[in-house]
A and B are shown apart, each in its own frame.
Chain A
């Protein structure tokens, strides 16, 4: 019996969960008005929106008023970076942004953009294990620091960043600065209310949690000044104008509710499957290299490997033709793979990095999927690699 498509790319997107689809269908049924109106249809929409906001706020351990709904993780990251830098500039403070070398392109490019527009920005190194060098951060913090951007966990390697230490360092040495954490990748797996407690800005994306694509949220502490990127009707307390995607917000809320409820059990099960896959591949593929050293905390679903002598573009095509979906890293606008700056920051040699593969398991992953992957991957890799 065929196992169907073996989908091991949950970090890219996690398929819509049935519970989320049901919640969204219920929201869609009947007349759903614009939450900014006053009649019964609008009231209904507003109620659903605010219930969703309460849910997301609870998930993050924040006040509902601190939650800004938007179109996804990228918009949330852009709002965090441009919004805080813009507010500082508006207040006449020419500040500096400190950011890690392994941030997601949404953060990386936003920082590059504010830098090009004249803001100061300094990239902070990570260690070979892929976690931020907190010592380097401490040294870089000054009274001019406006924003410190460190993700909760890295999307490529799954490495959990030392956010607690980051927050502590910032409070001690640059208390005026805001801490922004891109929690998009970490959200399904870590208790953000605890892990991201000290951060001033937290970004979420629904579709990484099995929610719909097209909706996300940015939590913003009251003490942080933020200039809106999108202006208009003044929704979301002037922080993000535009008619809210009520059905999407309901989907995000359902997704975080399910994630929180299942976190312990699903996390344990997925980690077990991931470890089984890891063991199986290590024993079946000569010279296989697990990118993140043992002992480093990694999200339960992540398995990042390097296959020396393999060309990841070719491996991906071949695996795809066998029905196995994995990732080779970040793509550019045209859809072609780019060399990984995350691996470069970790000191991984280009030749080795060119053979990198990312497997990310999720709630829907089963034993059968892992078994099939173990059947297919070693054979493909052996056929395609050119040197050991």
Chain B
């Protein structure tokens, strides 16, 4: 069965979705990713969807729930590289994905992630030392 690779890049996890997502793949990604977050005790996840050309409401919701799950595990999520057509589709579907951070590319996503983690750390609820 095909899997979506999850790469550890320094302190972050990078998920690059390069095949068209179908529902089962999406579910196994949720499994894998939550496992990896716990295993590596990471605080930031980048999901690169620049190769994704078709997104339906299921995938949209899946991305949103991944972000929420990661948040529960004290990790921030940034979705990067969304194609214009995909963005239009999501808006037309009425899924503006409130609460998900986005960035134009991986590089900008890293910067966004760093500041997001800093912000979350400043809230002080985790008592993490950074």
Q: Are chains A and B native binding partners rather than an unrelated pairing? A: no
Q: Which residues of A contact B (CB under 8 A)?
A: none
